[in-house]
Amino acid sequence: MKLYIKYMVSLRCKMVVKEELKKVGVNYATVDLGVAELPGKITAEQRSQLKTALLKSGLELMDDKKSILIEKIKNVVIEFVHYSDELPNVNFSDYLSEKLNYDYTYLANIFSEVKGINIQQFIITHKIERVKELLVYDELSLTEIAHKLNYSSVAHLSNQFKKVTGLTPSHFKKLREKRRNRLENM
């Protein structure tokens, strides 16, 4: 049996879900982003207790098939962008279709209908968040970041970054450094 959980986007969320499953006496086989796989069934009372406990942590147990599919799409994007060491050089629409076993057009239409943005915009938003994270860590050059996230060039990454944030990557980095310096001098 699978339980689908909304807003589960980090390793910390996985830990919370595992804890809450244990507390309500439910065994699990695996817990991944957005889903907990159980070896057996769950009682209505356990489901209710789990739903309440997860809500307190900002997570939500889902029942609606459309919401579950949207959450699956989001989790594939998040895993793809944030948790891959290096993004595979594949067409994301093919990757998503293969991963979820649905036609990409169907997935794209449902996602746009429910979220109000298309999948590509969602991916770009997450890629830019990842770029920000990598810039803050200051371990990779912009060229290395562009390569890591499959941008065709540094210019393409910079243009997309500026469209989303209003800043160039170098300006963003300078602002972070100024802020850090001010905090250190307090």
Read off the pLDDT of residues 6-52 as tens digits, 9 standing for 90 and up.
888 888 999 999 999 999 999 999 998 888 999 988 999 999 999 99
Would you list the domain boundaries of the chain?
A: 2-63, 68-179
Read off the pLDDT of residues 140-157 as tens digits, 9 standing for 90 and up.
899 999 988 889 899 999
What pLDDT sits at residue 144? 92
pLDDT exceeds cutoff 70 at 176: yes
Number of H helices, E strands in the chain: 9, 4
Please give the CATH number for the structural domain made up of 68-179. 1.10.10.60
Which residues are 30's β-sheet partners?
A: 37
* Token pair listed for 25: 């006496």
Q: Give the C-alpha separation, 128 to 159, whole Å.
A: 11
pLDDT exceeds cutoff 90 at 65: no
The pTM for the full model equals 0.70
Read off the pLDDT of residues 93-139 as tens digits, 9 standing for 90 and up.
998 999 999 999 999 999 999 889 999 999 999 999 999 999 988 88
Please give the CATH architecture assigned to the domain spanning 2-63. 2-Layer Sandwich (3.30)
Cβ-proximal residues to 132 (8 Å cutoff; 6+ apart), any chain: 165, 172
